[in-house]
Amino acid sequence: MKRRVWFLEIMLAMCVSMLIGCGITKESERDTSYVEEVPIKVVHYVSGKLGDKSFFDSAERGLKKSEMVYGHEASTIEGGNDSAVWASDLEELAASEKYDNIIVGTFPMTDTVRKLAQQYPDQRFIFYDDSVKDDPNVYSMAYSQSEGSF
């Protein structure tokens, strides 16, 4: 179990850092004289609750590690156990345009993220623990269940 948690933390941190770095060219190739450095804003939507040392807690630790290393602004929203509010919460996040990346995961959220990715093509999503295919604004990551326990 500890290896699965560790593996998920590392994967989430790597994916967040890859997406944050997308599109950045070498410093010598950019004209930054007119641009202020604005930190990337990331939100992690938890379709459940934190604090029980489970899957979401390990994803949260990975996000906090990447926040310390790369300096982006990260926040977390706990959706609670009422699955009826998850879709509306995520739609509100996507519509607000306050975040550069929305991180969300688990199988019950797959269809919601797929729908929102099509509805908000300029919003970037990071989806973990399942795959959302054919949407260019969704980066999906999945892992073999056996890799977490060997």
Q: Which residue segments constitute the domains of the chain, with CATH numbers given?
A: 2-21+41-148 (3.40.50.2300)
* Confidence (pLDDT) at 3: 54
Token couple for 108 = 């019950």
Token couple for 24 = 């950045």
In this structure, what DSSP letter does residue 47 have? S
Q: Stretch 70-76: mean pLDDT, rounded? A: 87
Q: Stretch 105-117: mean pLDDT, rounded? A: 88
Q: What percent of the chain has pLDDT over 70?
A: 71
* Confidence (pLDDT) at 80: 87
Q: Stretch 31-51: mean pLDDT, rounded? A: 74
Q: Stretch 61-73: mean pLDDT, rounded? A: 86
In this structure, what DSSP letter does residue 134 have? S
Band of residue 83 on the pLDDT scale cut at 50, 70, 90: confident
Contact 144, 7 (CB under 8 A): no
* Confidence (pLDDT) at 107: 83
User: Which one has a higher pLDDT value, 92 or 35?
Assistant: 92
Residue 144 has pLDDT above 80, yes or no: no
DSSP 10-29: HHHHHHHHHHHHTT---GGG
Q: What's the whole-model pTM score?
A: 0.71
Residue 31 has pLDDT above 50, yes or no: no
Residue 4 has pLDDT above 60, yes or no: no
